[in-house]
């Protein structure tokens, strides 16, 4: 059998995730701190029309998820896009795709923990906001790392419970909140013009983009076809629910009164339903950031690092699974250390650092997604629609509509993300580090046979 044949199924870690767990991974990662905190910055930029910017970003995200469904189901792997891109575009691009996606998550472990700490401070008004934010961030990030260390099922079940509570709270808020909307708050719809609206699109992209981390659960799901279903249904869940909820937020609060000190949803619930409503909505914000931490910043990069270590790109410690928990404990510990460093840095300027890191993650993920989309298109071309239907078992509808929209959307969001010199300098730094590392170390390992050609065998 040829080494160039596609590995249709590959499973090595424990397979204990069903459809609802995978769905919870996607919904939990996508609705994290971006919707509940960064929306405040979006409304400051664009007024009520921020809803349009976030909706546009969510639609691009949905198209991306559908476009990647076939390759995610056909080549289920902990390395996800790093494996797909390597298969069709070579090791250099495969490594770049995997590193930009996973390192983006690792860096955001700090910023999302800061958001979680900020939400927690709402219940302790006597505590200094900045100090309390950092203390709670450190504590809760450590707890969620421990959940991941104890096992995938523990983390995924915790995620599922959190997401069900979250979806329930937000659905009730949206349905009841519609009756409290004052249409006068929608005027002016675009107080800062089209420029303000456009500025919210990268923010919306950050808010929604986490759902692609579903793809990294391919080696731990019972049936890889559940990946394709979860990619679609998690998209529908977050798009419908959060668009409605954002309309309620801008409909009950004058946009000038919204800030990033607390979640806009908490603020809207306080205005509409009193302190009890704000208390409950802050629980939803807390759950959102918590789910994003559990399966986004900890689970996803640890699985990609695990696959890369197996192939020789990263130190062996990242590729070691604990014999009892079947989880990459050492890799998770490294992620915890990095996240802790960024949390501590946030003490000096939590809000400023949070916004910059969010945007850098958007840029990094646009690179990763663009490469993954090209790999997915090549996968479709090589396999053909008939083989995908019969052998993969999940076929995307209306091909090539979704890949085309997703790719154009990625290019446009990438363009919008370079809005000041800080973004250019930051990208130059991390891209420079990658190029030095690849050309100075990885290419030598490939040449010396330390990193061997990857085999893609059909079972």
**Per-residue pLDDT, 421:** 87
3-state secondary structure of 221: strand
The predicted structure's pLDDT at residue 414: 87
At 186 the pLDDT is 92
* pLDDT score, position 459: 32
Q: What pLDDT is recorded for position 453? A: 61
Q: What is the pLDDT of residue 260?
A: 66
pTM of the predicted model as reported, rounded to 2 decimal places: 0.77
Res 321: pLDDT: 83
Identify the pLDDT of residue 403. Answer: 92
**Digit-coded pLDDT (tens) for 200-211:** 888 888 777 766
Q: Is 399 helix (H, G, I), strand (E, B) or coil?
A: coil
Q: What three-state secondary structure class fits 66?
A: helix
pLDDT score of 12: 46
Domain segments of the chain: what residues? 19-447
CA angle 334, 337, 342 (to 5 degrees): 130
Assign domain 19-447 one CATH number from 3.30.540.10, 1.10.3190.10, 1.20.1740.10, 3.40.605.10: 1.20.1740.10
Max Cα–Cα distance, the chain, nearest Å: 68
| Residues in the chain where the model's pLDDT stays below 70 | 1-17, 25-35, 37, 78-79, 152-153, 155-156, 159, 210-221, 260-261, 293-295, 349-354, 452-459
Angle at 405 between CA 400 and CA 408, to 5 degrees: 120
Extract the tokens encoding 179: 């009756």
């Amino acid at each position: 059998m040829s080494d160039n044949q596609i590995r249709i199924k590959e499973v090595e870690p424990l397979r204990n995730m069903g459809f609802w767990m995978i769905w919870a991974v996607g919904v939990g990662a996508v609705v994290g701190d971006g919707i509940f905190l960064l929306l405040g910055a979006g409304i400051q930029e664009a007024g009520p029309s921020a809803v349009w910017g976030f909706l546009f970003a969510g639609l691009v995200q949905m198209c991306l998820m559908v476009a990647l469904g076939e390759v995610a189901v056909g080549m289920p792997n902990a390395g996800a896009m790093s494996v797909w891109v390597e298969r069709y575009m070579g090791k250099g691009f495969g490594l770049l795709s995997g590193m930009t996606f996973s390192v983006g998550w690792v860096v955001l472990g700090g910023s999302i923990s800061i958001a979680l700490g900020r939400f927690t401070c709402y219940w302790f008004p006597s505590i200094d906001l900045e100090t309390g934010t950092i203390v709670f961030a450190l504590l809760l990030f450590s707890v969620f790392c421990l959940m991941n260390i104890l096992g995938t099922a523990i983390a995924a079940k915790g995620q599922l419970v959190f997401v069900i509570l979250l979806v329930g709270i937000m659905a009730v808020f949206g349905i009841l909140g519609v009756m409290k909307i004052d249409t006068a708050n929608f005027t002016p719809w675009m107080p800062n013009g089209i420029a303000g609206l456009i500025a919210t699109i990268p923010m919306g992209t950050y808010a929604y983009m986490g759902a692609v981390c579903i793809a990294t659960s391919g080696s731990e799901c019972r049936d890889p076809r559940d990946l394709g279903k979860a990619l679609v249904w998690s998209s529908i869940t977050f798009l419908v629910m959060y668009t409605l909820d954002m309309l309620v937020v801008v409909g009950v609060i004058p946009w000038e009164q919204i800030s990033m000190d607390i979640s806009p949803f908490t603020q809207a619930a306080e205005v509409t339903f009193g302190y009890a409503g704000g208390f409950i909505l802050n629980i939803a914000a807390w759950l959102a950031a918590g789910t994003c931490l559990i399966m986004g910043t900890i689970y996803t990069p640890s699985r990609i690092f695990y696959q890369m270590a197996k192939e020789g790109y990263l130190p062996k410690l990242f590729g070691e699974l604990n014999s009892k928990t079947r989880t990459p404990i050492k890799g998770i510990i490294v992620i915890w250390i990095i996240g802790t460093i960024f949390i501590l840095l946030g003490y000096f300027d939590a809000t400023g650092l949070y916004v910059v890191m969010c945007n850098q993650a958007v840029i990094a993920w646009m690179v990763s997604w663009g490469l993954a989309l090209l790999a997915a298109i090549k996968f479709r071309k090589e396999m053909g629609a008939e083989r995908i239907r019969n052998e993969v078992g999940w076929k995307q509808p209306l091909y090539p509509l979704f890949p085309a929209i997703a790719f154009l959307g990625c290019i446009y969001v990438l363009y919008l993300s370079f809005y000041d010199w800080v973004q250019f300098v930051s990208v130059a730094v991390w891209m420079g580090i990658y190029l030095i590392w690849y050309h100075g170390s990885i290419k030598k390992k490939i040449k010396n046979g330390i990193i061997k050609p990857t085999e893609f065998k059909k079972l």
